[in-house]
Structure 1
């Protein structure tokens, strides 16, 4: 169900796309309507704010956020000014909700795993772009190491801050290296690495075994 201050046509399109995304993402992750997650009486609520300032104030998200999901209340929030709402923000946040639901809303779901699933499930085009960027970072020896993303909590990073971050990388030759990244580059690199890693794990294990792997990770 979509709640918007004005644009009824836009709201209907968001609702239509949300249904399509749900079908694709839920079944892709091994969860269908039999779970009762997206039934009429138990549906996700999508709030579309009139402008970006209203969205940020209501959601409490960082300035760079384009959308957000409240897992336990099953809501998605964004704004009409978000040019990427329908194409990427909406499937990204729906993927967050479905994945957190599948993990029984555990508080110990690693951020890289949660964000990686959401990145990977946005669209086929997004996957292609994600892997292309990951390859570019790898060629430049600037792709974050697995340990690097496991230890990083991007929620505490100010994208517009002045601080620079030192992070470990693994070079093509297998050596350990260090890169110095600005906050915005670090956040983007984190998302790329997380999404590419999830894509690799799904491709290697398959959807069902990947789901089991996620359960084991979150139960530890």
Structure 2
């Protein structure tokens, strides 16, 4: 499945400048002989350049990895510094896994997403796989997900189908145009943020502009 059809995955639209959409994590599952049996992968799932005006919210979302003996990467292809972010999740047995709660690196890992990117690619380090922990953790998953929504549970380790039974979402920001507010204001005929009840804000390394309603005002004009 793909994130390009945002309307199909839309969960709700926030009052100001956010949209929450359902996500489909990337994943892989192993058997006892190190053979990869399942591979959930959509190379275009996080290509937000093609679904403008949406951009990933890097404050509310986290790059998240679940599984044991798992190292996954989030490659930011259009980031100004062009680099990858890694997240390592490890556990030798279920006894070492925190039963419920936050991602601590044992069975679940979370890390920040750098600002300034709208095209992501996921990958798994093949040197780390679930064959050694097959008896209690067959599958690993990597995703960009809203931090407040994902509460770690041991079923994320033991149940390979948990991903099909759990609704997960990511928060997107409205991003209108690829200029700063200051630059947009110099072109009066095309400048869209003209309502007295609206505010133009610049984000993502001062590249993208967002328009939102001023919460102190009662309505748009």
**Structures share a fold, TM > 0.5?**
no
- Indicate the structure with greater helix content: 1
Structure with bigger gyration radius: 2
Higher relative contact order (CA 8 A, sep 6+): 2
Instruction: Give me the TM-score of the superposition, normalised by structure 2.
Output: 0.25
